[in-house]
């Protein structure tokens, strides 16, 4: 089966990293078409996945855009659309991995007579998207032959927004647990590089954006024992510079300059996670899936996650991690302090999480689930 994957982003966010794992088994028979150039293209190339940047201009529709702004962007879409339609004719199906890719993919699917699959990596709720964007996404997604939701939470929100349940299947992100086994000497070296020996190091791994809640961790840190320090790993991928400035200000105001470090975007996540004592996830709005939560588990690190959306499907409180109320820094500080004090109990929970996560999110199994869904669809359209 020849697949044309479409993704609007040149930057490697969670949806893009997931796509690398999905496209890998098809690399001899697929193309990833991007609507913008960037580090994601380089990552695909490193993984020997054929990639082509189909547009030189980025599409100016944001999550909160109005209908008029959406319409105005149509002019930019036409040359891209023409290219996608022409390319799609060489493939058996179109696999849209993001919302703008869905819109372009749906029109191309109609014009090239190729079935459309949509991988839904978002929670289509008012917290995340304007009403216009939700309406467009659901209307267009309902024309797809298959919607793959990255969690039950994403599927539920899709259906509540008017999405068709009968075309929607839930498939979690897959991970290769080998990539998260880091040897002790490397862990020691990374900790030295971070200058955090003798500290209780809390890691936060996410792009810097208000809803990812880095400010909640900083606020919590103030309420934790002095030995608790934090690294914030990630960058403002989508222009959230104002938030970054606010975080720096907050750190100065709270006098935490010596306890928080910004590491920027990094591609050595397993090494960095393994060098931490604890990983926290602090999203203030429901997380569609939460790759970082599973990655922390695979590194054998205890994880505290904000109790909403997909995170609730990944973490069972006290069994394979900890859940806290989103936005509640005091509660977060309490759980961080408990993890520090009850280290052997916490280590047992982390070790259990590592074993179960490596089975539950095994990339080979997950890819098999996707392959079966695509094969069924392929058969159906050929009949």
**Which residues are at the interface with ligand UDP (CB under 6 A)?**
13-15, 17, 205-207, 233-234, 265-267, 269, 289-292, 295
Here the tokens at position 74 are 């149509």
Q: Which is nearer to ligand UDP, 13 or 174 (CB)?
A: 13
Helix (H) or strand (E) holding 32: strand 30-34
Instruction: Report the alpha-carbon distance of residue 133 to residue 189 in Å, rounded.
Output: 46
What DSSP string runs through 138-155?
A: HHHHTTSSEEEESSHHHH
Rounded to 10 deg, the angle between the 131-141 and 99-112 helix axes is 40
Closer residue to ligand UDP in complex, CB, 115/309: 309
CB of 176 to ligand UDP, least distance (A): 12
189-195: long-range contacts, CB 8 A cutoff, minimum separation 24: 190/268, 190/271, 190/272, 190/274, 190/275, 191/275, 194/231, 194/261, 194/275
Between 91 and 289, CB nearer to ligand UDP:
289
Instruction: Considering the complex, state which of residue 230 and residue 292 has its C-beta at the smaller distance from ligand UDP.
Output: 292
C-alpha atoms less than 13 angstroms from C-alpha of 247 in its C-beta half-sphere: 26
List, edge to edge, every strand of the sheet that includes 93-96.
Answer: 51-53, 30-34, 3-7, 93-96, 116-120, 146-149, 168-170
Per DSSP bridges, beta strands 93-96 and 3-7 are: parallel
Nearer to ligand UDP, 80 or 286 (CB): 286
Decide whether 191 or 281 has the Cβ nearer to ligand UDP: 281
| Shortest Cβ 345–ligand UDP spacing (Å) | 26
Q: Which residue number, 206 or 229, has a Cβ lying nearer to ligand UDP?
A: 206
User: Least distance (Å) from ligand UDP to the CB of residue 43?
Assistant: 9
Task: Give the CB-nearest residue to ligand UDP.
Answer: 14
- As measured in angstroms, the least distance from the Cβ of 281 to ligand UDP is 7
CB of 226 to ligand UDP, least distance (A): 27
Shortest Å distance, C-beta 215 to ligand UDP: 17
Minimal distance in Å, beta carbon 235 to ligand UDP? 6
Per DSSP bridges, beta strands 303-306 and 322-324 are parallel
What span, in angstroms and rounded, lies between the C-alpha atoms of 210 and 320?
A: 27
């Amino acid at each position: 089966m020849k697949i044309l994957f479409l993704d609007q982003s040149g930057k490697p966010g969670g949806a893009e990293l997931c796509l690398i794992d999905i496209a890998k088994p098809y690399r001899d028979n697929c193309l990833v078409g991007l609507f913008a150039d960037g580090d994601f293209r380089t990552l695909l190339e490193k993984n020997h996945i054929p990639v082509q940047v189909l547009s030189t201009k980025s599409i100016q529709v944001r999550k909160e855009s109005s209908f008029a702004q959406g319409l105005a962007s149509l002019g930019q879409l036409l040359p891209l659309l023409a290219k996608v339609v022409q390319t799609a004719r060489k493939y058996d199906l179109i696999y849209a991995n993001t919302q703008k890719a869905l819109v372009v993919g749906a029109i191309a699917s109609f014009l090239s007579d190729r079935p459309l699959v949509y991988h839904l990596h978002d929670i289509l709720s008012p917290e995340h998207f304007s009403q216009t964007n939700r309406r467009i996404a659901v209307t267009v997604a309902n024309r797809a032959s298959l919607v793959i939701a990255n969690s039950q939470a994403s599927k539920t929100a899709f259906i509540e927004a008017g999405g068709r349940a009968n075309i929607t299947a839930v498939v979690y992100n897959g991970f290769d647990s080998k990539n998260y086994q880091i040897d002790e000497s490397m862990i020691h070296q990374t900790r030295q590089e971070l200058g955090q020996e003798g500290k209780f190091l809390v890691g936060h791994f996410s792009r810097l954006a208000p809803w990812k809640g880095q400010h909640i961790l900083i606020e919590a840190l103030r309420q934790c024992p002095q030995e608790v320090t934090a690294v914030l790993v990630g960058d403002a991928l989508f222009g959230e510079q104002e938030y970054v400035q606010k975080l720096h200000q907050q750190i100065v105001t709270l006098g935490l300059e010596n306890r928080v470090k910004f590491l920027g975007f990094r591609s050595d996540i397993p090494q960095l996670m393994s060098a931490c004592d604890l990983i926290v996830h602090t999203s203030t709005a429901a997380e569609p899936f939460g790759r970082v939560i599973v990655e922390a588990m695979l590194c054998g690190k205890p994880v505290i996650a904000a109790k909403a959306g997909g995170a609730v499907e990944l973490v069972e409180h006290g069994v394979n991690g900890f859940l806290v109320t989103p936005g509640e820094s005091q509660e977060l500080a309490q759980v961080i302090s408990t993890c520090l004090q009850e280290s052997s109990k916490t280590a047992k929970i982390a070790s259990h999480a590592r074993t179960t996560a490596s089975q539950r999110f095994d990339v080979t199994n997950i890819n098999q689930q996707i392959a079966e869904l695509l094969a069924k669809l392929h058969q159906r359209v050929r009949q």
